[in-house]
Amino acid sequence: MRISPSQYFSDIHSRESGAKSPSVPTEMFIVKGEGQSNHSFLNAFDKSLMNAGIGHLNLIQYSSILPHPIQFYDQPFSIQPGSQTGVILSKMSGKQGETISAGLIVGKAEGYSVVYEGTGKSKEDLNKFLVSSITEALNARGILNPNFFLESCQMEVTDKFGSIIVAIVFNPKTFV
């Protein structure tokens, strides 16, 4: 069942789950961004990071597991420029005239959440793919009729190069 991020994380935040690792994030937010450039894919990607509000950070890419509990924030919080910051990132680049989309979906397992990232040409097709993917992943973990939330975006590339991102960003100050 599709629910909002606030609904999803309100349940997770209220439960504790076992022993803590020394590098488990406890706070997160989600951002989206797009960028275009007539110079390079790298410049377009940099502009998408800046548009999302994370272009001033040193990003450390995580795989696809969120711990429980974790606090979700609707708005980004301030992070010092240059901070090493964990992200789960979906990104896509394209050339002039192309439609590009990126997204991620989060589904609740027992004691943690699974994140799947995806990209495509159509946001609608990408969303269908992400829903079927997370459903299969959670079914394999014994979770039938899973709760999930989905964030995605799409853009038409009008400059020579384009980039689009959706990211879960962890607060580097709140790792336990």
Position 4 scores a pLDDT of 80
The band of 19, judged by pLDDT with boundaries at 50, 70 and 90, is low
Q: CA-to-CA distance for 110 and 65, rounded, in angstroms?
A: 12
The band of 6, judged by pLDDT with boundaries at 50, 70 and 90, is confident
Residue 172: CB atoms within 10 A of its CB come to 17
pLDDT tens per residue across span 109-156? 999 999 999 999 999 999 999 999 999 999 999 999 889 999 999 999
Say if residue 10's pLDDT is above 70: no
Position 3 scores a pLDDT of 77
CATH numbers and ranges of domains, the chain: 5-16+26-174 (3.50.20.10)
pLDDT tens per residue across span 20-61? 555 788 999 999 999 999 999 999 999 999 999 999 999 999
Say if residue 5's pLDDT is above 50: yes
Say if residue 78's pLDDT is above 70: yes
Phi/psi region, residue 127 (left: phi>0; alpha: psi -120 to 50; beta: rest), is: alpha
Position 16 scores a pLDDT of 47
For range 62-91, the mean pLDDT: 93
Q: CA-to-CA distance for 68 and 16, rounded, in angstroms?
A: 7
Q: CA-to-CA distance for 79 and 15, rounded, in angstroms?
A: 26
Position 23 scores a pLDDT of 79
Position 132 scores a pLDDT of 96
Least confidently predicted of 10-14, 63-67, 141-145, 153-157: 10-14
The band of 175, judged by pLDDT with boundaries at 50, 70 and 90, is low
Q: CA-to-CA distance for 148 and 134, rounded, in angstroms?
A: 8
Whether residue 44 contacts residue 93, with contact meaning beta carbons closer than 8 Å, is answered with yes
The band of 88, judged by pLDDT with boundaries at 50, 70 and 90, is very high
* String of DSSP letters for 65-124: EEESS-EEESS-----TT-EEEEEEEEEEEETT-EEEEEEEEEE-SSEEEEEEEEES-HH
> Which of 141, 108, 102, 143 is CA-nearest to residue 13?
108
